């Protein structure tokens, strides 16, 4: 099966852990699955399956490109549909055969974690530096969730070391991209984890990175975030507080009380929450293998997608 992944090139210097394991695909995939990554249509006409990096493909679909007979079209999307409402507007009706997204009801679930996260999440936390209380990495201006508005108010009451381009006030001494980002987060008691949009299952690296690094996420985003909690008291949930001022006062109390703060990391000493463990186990089979199996069923008329945002 020849699979073409039609994607947009962009800066991945600080991107999430690559759950597709692109550099290892030759060792992971069976020989009868061949995957090519391109930012153009070269080779599309001879591919059995074409995966579209959907948020950047509206123009392509509006051009009315004819799909070759028997070819399977797959919509790949890790961006929240709230930021791209056209994806759920009906424009794609009859064109997409399979959906590969972060949503748990999609045909091929591709979330912001993979099978290795059980061990990563339970890695012990490192001691925190006394002055390192709260950090933040936000550079994107995308603000469907109104996170920037809330954070602007929060920063009136809570000192936050901001390493992103938004409200930047700190810089890393050595910047090697993603590894440096994770090493910085490890030093802080809390990390701001505000999603750029609020949607079901839209739980991104902003949430998982501090959990892995042993920092406590201050989270705002998915309404069903409870399904992704690794253990009790593993995060600070913005929705539990009446105002940014009340949230700031609570965070500062934790920063001043070593025992209360240590309780927030106690979950790392215990097995993962069963629901999150189940979700992680669902990623043990590589997404491209799951895709190939399902595409073959579509080709034989044994499967029809019922997914929609």
Each residue's pLDDT tens digit, 142-181: 999 999 999 999 999 999 999 999 999 999 989 988 899 9
Kindly tell me if the per-residue pLDDT of 36 is higher than 60: yes
Strands (E), the chain: 2-6, 34-38, 49-53, 72-77, 98-101, 108-109, 134-136, 161-162, 190-194, 216-220, 236-237
Q: What pLDDT is recorded for position 148? A: 98
Kindly tell me if the per-residue pLDDT of 255 is higher than 80: yes
Strand order in the sheet with 72-77: 34-38, 2-6, 49-53, 72-77, 98-101, 108-109
Each residue's pLDDT tens digit, 62-79: 888 889 999 999 999 999
- Residues whose CB is less than 8 angstroms from the CB of residue 104 and which lie 6 or more positions away in sequence, other chains included: 111, 201, 279
At the second CATH level, the architecture of 117-279 is 3-Layer(aba) Sandwich (3.40)
The structural domains of the chain, with segments of one domain joined by +, span 2-111+283-299, 117-279
Strand order in the sheet with 134-136: 161-162, 134-136, 190-194, 216-220, 236-237
Q: What pLDDT is recorded for position 150? A: 98
Determine which of 22-26, 98-102, 220-224, 281-285 has the lowest per-residue pLDDT on average: 22-26
The predicted model gives 88-112 an average pLDDT of 94
> Is 117-279 the same fold as 2-111+283-299?
yes
pLDDT bin (cut points 50, 70, 90) of residue 22 is confident
The predicted model gives 113-128 an average pLDDT of 94
Please provide the average confidence, as pLDDT, over all residues in the chain.
Answer: 94
pTM for the model = 0.94
CATH 3.30.110 for domain 2-111+283-299: no
The predicted model gives 272-289 an average pLDDT of 96
Q: What pLDDT is recorded for position 24? A: 85
Q: What pLDDT is recorded for position 16? A: 52
CB 255 within 8 A of CB 236: no
Q: What pLDDT is recorded for position 222? A: 98
């Amino acid at each position: 099966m020849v699979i073409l992944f039609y994607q947009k090139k962009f800066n991945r210097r600080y991107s999430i852990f690559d759950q597709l394991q692109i550099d290892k695909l030759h060792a992971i995939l069976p020989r009868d699955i061949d995957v090519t990554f391109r930012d153009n249509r070269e080779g599309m006409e001879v591919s059995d399956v074409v995966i579209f990096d959907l948020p950047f493909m509206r123009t392509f679909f509006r051009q009315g490109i004819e799909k070759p007979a028997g070819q399977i079209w797959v919509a790949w999307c890790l961006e929240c549909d709230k930021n791209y409402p056209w994806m759920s507007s009906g424009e794609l009706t009859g064109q997409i055969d399979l959906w590969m997204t972060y949503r748990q009801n999609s045909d091929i679930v591709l979330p912001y974690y993979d099978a290795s996260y059980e061990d990563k999440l339970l890695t012990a936390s490192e001691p925190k530096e006394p002055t390192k209380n709260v950090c933040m990495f936000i550079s994107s201006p995308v603000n469907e969730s109104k996170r920037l508005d809330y954070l602007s108010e929060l920063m009136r009451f809570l000192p936050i070391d901001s390493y992103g381009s938004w409200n930047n006030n700190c810089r890393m001494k050595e910047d090697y991209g993603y590894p440096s980002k994770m090493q910085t987060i490890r030093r802080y008691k809390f990390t701001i984890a505000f999603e750029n949009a609020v949607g079901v299952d839209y739980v991104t690296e902003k949430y998982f990175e501090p959990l892995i690094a042993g920092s406590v996420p201050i989270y705002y985003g998915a309404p069903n975030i409870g399904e992704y909690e690794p253990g009790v008291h593993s995060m600070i949930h913005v929705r539990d507080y009446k105002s940014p001022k009340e949230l700031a006062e609570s965070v500062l109390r934790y920063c001043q009380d070593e025992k209360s703060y240590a309780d927030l990391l106690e979950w790392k000493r215990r097995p993962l929450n069963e629901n999150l463990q189940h979700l992680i186990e669902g990623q043990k089979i590589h997404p491209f293998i799951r895709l190939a199996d399902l595409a073959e069923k579509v080709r034989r008329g044994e499967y029809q997608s019922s997914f929609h945002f």
